[in-house]
Structure 1
Amino acid sequence: MTMETVDLRSDTVTRPTPAMRRAMAVAEVGDDLFGEDPTVRALEDRLAGLFGFGGALFVPSGVMANQIALRLLVAPGQEVVCDAEAHILAHEEGSPARYGGIQTRTVPGERGLLGADELEAVLRPGNAYTVGTRAVALEQTHTRGGGAVYPVETLRAIRRVTRGSGVSVHIDGARIWNAHTATGTPLAEYGAPVADTLSVCLSKGLGAPVGSVLLTAAEHLPTARSLRHGLGGGMRQSGILAAAGLHALDHHLERMAEDHTHAAVLATGLRDAGCAVRPQETNVVLVDTPDAEEVVAGAARERVLVTAPGPRTVRLVTHLGVGRQACRRAVGVLAALMGEGRRTRGVPASAGHAQQWKESEVA
């Protein structure tokens, strides 16, 4: 009997449930570029309300949402400050510079999270001889930080610092649903009170097949629509896709606590086997190991799929497509590859031959 594949590469591998497909099939649609798709409007209005923003824009991907947001906040030749491992740097094809002429400056964060004091020390007002900081970009939860959650108190402190400096805040909230699930913080507190723009993803933990939504002030929507069109993101009868997002909000948000429980099963099981597991807060588990690509290949032979975000780090991500039993099987396979006697304790992800290594992570 063939074993079922356990796919822990990313929460992007989820597929629409039968109920979600039915919702998509019966969605009322219109031409979104004419502003006539009622299902898209319903999704945008709902998310704007949840996070306290005046406007929202449905886009094909989180990368597009992030890049539109940065161009709303930062002019060509100006600067955005972010964590050194930020998604907008590591996984977006150099788009701030390529499409926006935006300079990026990085600050190393603890598990990807920045503090108000360290940001206050690096923000530059700008003058005739110095590039000015115009925005700070944060990530909630932090992908390469292992799903680390920004405490809402930290976000409020950063907002106070940036407001006092005339600097805007963008939050890449691709996994903001996981932060909400882990902490119980109301979505509204993660939104407009702490950010000028926010991107939220529908195709990760929520399990929709496509799409993200950019949240911003209502007066910025015309420019945001223009930028979306220029990036090739204008869609027509996209209510079919928006319906999946609405269904996910209704049926998949509350169940996300299961993903965190399953991630804890992975983290605990691997730690008990002697693996060097980093702290786990949400649905992402990072494990240090001497040869990550060898582990990825060995696990794949046993039909357990994981990724390597660094030459000495293995990543596992839980989602609605994997349950407790599948996670336990993954623990057995991975423990045999990385357990006591098979790895070096505490090997930093940046050590060794990082320069020669080819990244395999799906963000």
Structure 2
Amino acid sequence: MTRIIDLRTDTVTQPTAAMIASMQQASQGDDSRDGDPTVMRLEALAATHTGKEAGLYMPSGTMTNLVAVLAHTQRAGEVLLERGAHMLNTELGGLAAVAGVFYKGIPGLRGAMDETALREAVRPTTRNNFGTALICMETTHNGAGGAILPLAHMQMVYELARHHRIPVHTDGARLFNAAVALGVPAAEIARHTDSVCFCVSKGLSAPIGSLLCGTRAFIERARPFRRMVGGNMRQAGLIAAAGVVALDTMIDRLADDHATAKRLAIGLHAVDASMLNPGDVETNIVRVNVRASGRAAALWAADFQARGIAVSPADSGSLRFVTHRHIAADDVDAAIAACRSIVNQLPA
């Protein structure tokens, strides 16, 4: 069977041999009752990496974001976040449908909210409205092609929020990609937010799970909300064990994924410079604009699939390529060659 080079997402990564071995030897306590030693170890490790007091293990990043909103807002008020945020556009309306909050998308550039627009959007609770209950950030920013929020921007947002006594949550699904690219510990990023979540099941290659981190009081407040949305797990040590290995062994190698993404961006730019600016590629996501071709992104994705390359339409006019540990330089070169083949067959 011909191998498909899968560049749709980094969630397709497979657990390492060390992860599988750790799962076979993991503790099997009931995490939802008395707690499981391996889960508690993973939560403590997550808290250490992010510089927070405590962590909480959940099945998915969508759930960690939802539980964070519930714990911060207590189902009232307005949430401010950049209008291209994953929480706003991809998590199926959980903010309103489950968390019961209003939301306002703030215009931004490469995932960073416009400061003036953000300041104007913040409002107090009055007899006529609930006011701003939470401000959210996202780094790396999926919709902005894996862009990293500048630390100065995060500091500005956090200081503004603290001035108004508004909590801040950061969706850090690919937090460690941002940290590696910036050359700083994840805690240096997380210091500019009250809570932060990250996935171990993307580039870090564990099979399942995300962690929500914050103060001990916040995490205790989050626990019943995790139960409410169905996130309590039983013998979760089996999967948490892989997460421990991920945090112990897989962070530094994310730089390899960034290098292959840059190689891909440079190669695609050489095929057609209108598609992207390689300088915009900071981590492991490459967004390619195909609007100039007059063909929908879905058709481009089908053309790539026919050539053995799996990619995802990001919207009607752009594609998303995501590199990960199963993508080597030869795979990137094959994707570039496939793109050149498609371009050469387009009508003049």
Shorter-chain TM-score bucket reads: over 0.9
Question: Take 1:118 and 1:149, find their aligned partners in 2: how far apart are those partners?
Answer: 20
Q: State TM-score, norm by structure 1.
A: 0.90
Any unmatched runs of 5+ in structure 2?
Answer: none
User: What corresponds to 1:172 in structure 2?
Assistant: 171
Partner of 2:288: 287
Q: What amino acid sits opposite 2:55 in the alignment?
A: A
> Does residue 314 of the first structure (1) align with residue 319 of the second (2)?
yes
Aligned residue in 1 for 2:264: 266
Do the aligned residues in 2 keep the contact of 1:289 with 1:338 (CA within 8 Å)?
Answer: no
Give per-residue Cα distances to partners, 1:117-148, cap 9 Å, x unaligned. 43222211131123401111110100011000
The residue aligned with 2:9 is 10
Q: Residue 63 of structure 1 corresponds to which residue in structure 2?
A: 62
Asked if residue 215 in structure 1 is aligned to residue 216 in structure 2, the reply is no
**1:268 positional shift:** 0.2
Deviation string, structure 1 residues 84-138 (Cα, Å, up to 9, x no partner): 1111111111101111111010111112221444322221113112340111111
User: Any runs of at least 4 consecutive aligned residues in structure 1 with deviations exceeding 2 A, and if so which?
Assistant: 115-118, 220-223, 335-339, 341-344
Per-residue displacement from partner, 1:138-166 (whole Å, max 9, x unpaired)? 10100011000011121111111111111
Contact 2:76 2:133 in 1 (8 A): no
Structure 1 counterpart of 2:146:
147
How far is 1:277 from its partner?
Answer: 1.2
Measure, in 1, the Cα distance between the counterparts of 2:226 and 2:347. 46
Amino acid at match of 1:263: A
Q: Residues 266, 73 of structure 1: CA spacing in aligned structure 2 closer, same or farther, 3 A cutoff?
A: same
Distance 1:343 1:145, change over 3 A: farther
Offset at residue 342 of structure 1 (A): 4.5
Distance 2:347 2:169 in 1: 39
How many Å apart are 1:343 and its aligned residue? 9.5
Q: What code does the residue aligned with 1:198 have? A: V
Deviation at 1:297, TM superposition (A): 0.4
Q: Is the 8 A contact 2:204 2:250 kept in 1?
A: yes
1:12-37 deviation per Cα after TM superposition (whole angstroms, max 9, x unaligned): 11111222111111112311112331
Once the two structures are superposed, the pairs formed by residues 322-341 of structure 1 within 5 Å of their partners are 322-338=327-343
Correspondent of 1:297 among 289, 302, 312: 302
Task: Output the CA distance in 2 between the equivalents of 1:35 and 1:145.
Answer: 41
CA contact (8 A) 2:213 2:219 kept: no
SS of the aligned residue for 2:55 comes to strand
Deviation at 1:4, TM superposition (A): 2.2
Contact between 1:14 and 1:319, CA under 8 Å: does it hold in 2? yes
Paired with 2:62 and 2:317, the residues of 1 have a C-alpha distance of 26
Contact 2:140 2:148 (C-alpha < 8 Å) held by counterparts = yes
Q: Which runs of 5+ in 1 are unaligned?
A: 345-363
Sequence identity of aligned pairs in percent?
Answer: 35
Relative to structure 1, is the Cα distance of residues 218 and 232 closer, same or farther in structure 2, using a 3 angstrom cutoff? Answer: same
Alpha-carbon distance between aligned partners in 2 of 1:343 and 1:184, rounded to the nearest angstrom: 45
Structure 2 Cα separation of the partners of residues 221 and 288 of structure 1: 41
Within a 5 Å distance, the mapping from 1:43-122 to structure 2 comes to 43-122=42-121
2:29–2:234 contact (8 Å) kept in structure 1: yes
How many residues matched?
341
Query: Residue in 2 aligned with 1:348?
Result: none
CA distance in 1, matches of 2:217, 2:258: 37
User: How far did residue 76 of structure 1 move?
Assistant: 2.7
Once the two structures are TM-superposed, the CA of residue 223 in structure 1 deviates from its matched residue by 2.5
- 3-state SS, counterpart of residue 180 of structure 1: helix
- Residue 239 of structure 1 corresponds to which residue in structure 2? 237
Question: Counterpart of 1:135?
Answer: 134
Q: Which residue of 1 aligns with 2:250?
A: 252
How far, CA to CA, are the matches of 2:347 and 2:79 in structure 1? Answer: 38
**2:227 aligned to 221, 226, 229, which one?**
229
1:211-242 CA-partner distances (Å, limit 9, x unpaired): 00011210123321111111111111101111
Question: Which amino acid in structure 2 is aligned with residue 126 of structure 1?
Answer: T
The 1:314/1:343 distance shift into structure 2, 3 A limit, reads: farther
Q: Offset at 1:188?
A: 1.2
Aligned-partner Cα distance in 2 for 1:223–1:324:
46
Paired residue type of 2:284: N
